[in-house]
A and B are shown apart, each in its own frame.
Chain A
Amino acid sequence: DAGVIQSPRHEVTEMGQEVTLRCKPISGHDYLFWYRQTMMRGLELLIYFNNNVPIDDSGMPEDRFSAKMPNASFSTLKIQPSEPRDSAVYFCASRPGTGIETQYFGPGTRLLVL
């Protein structure tokens, strides 16, 4: 079975540009999570969805960040405009609605904003 799929795997952009990160969760999983990981702050939850509906976006750092989940198999995290301090690894994770509640992480997108 395919795991969580993220694209692109690496992104280098200039300050002020729009960045869109993409995620395809594991088929049948009801929950989708977006995380950001930096050396300074570790792994932080940004937002999560349940059945395509955003449930908790309190971790989104500011209005420059937005996330959508138009259907059960696709989600995007957008940063507009991007800033150098947004440089981080962005992980998407998903989990089923029942059973042990572990989350399965995608390979991550390594974002560098110059």
Chain B
Amino acid sequence: GQNIDQPTEMTATEGAIVQINCTYQTSGFNGLFWYQQHAGEAPTFLSYNVLDGLEEKGRFSSFLSRSKGYSYLLLKELQMKDSASYLCAVGRYGNNRLAFGKGNQVVVIP
């Protein structure tokens, strides 16, 4: 099985930087995904890490340490539209069977 842990909620100010952490315990690790989900909408893909290190994509960056079972998503220059839930998902033995964390709700305030 797998165990995925994410903090539940955080509030940050527009223009700030926020880091969302995800820790996991699993066998057969194949990669880690980050998804964004606005209230009442479907999850949308943000990033994918399979090797250790930092992947940067515009205002969003994602980091992975496989030895520590740890990933984080970094959101820079926060905008109001970034208010959403951020889900990490672990792929095992191939990435078809994804195990999702319960998500971290980020609230951006003016």
Contact = CB atoms under 8 A, between A and B. Distances in A.
Interface of A: 31, 33, 42-45, 48, 50, 55-56, 91, 100-108
Interface-centre pick from B42, B97, B103 (highest chain A CB count, 10 A): B42
Contacts of B89: 43
Interface residues of B, number: 20
B45 A104 contact: yes
A56 B96 contact: yes
B86 interface: no
Nearest to A92: B42
Nearest to B6: A42
B13 interface: no
A43 B100 contact: yes
A33 B42 CA distance: 13
Interface in B71-110: 87, 89, 91, 95-103
A42 B33 contact: no
Given A50-B96, A102-B45, 19 more contacts: A31-B96, A33-B96, A42-B101, A42-B103, A43-B43, A43-B87, A44-B100, A45-B98, A55-B96, A56-B96, A56-B97, A101-B48, A101-B91, A103-B45, A103-B98, A104-B45, A105-B44, A107-B41, A108-B41
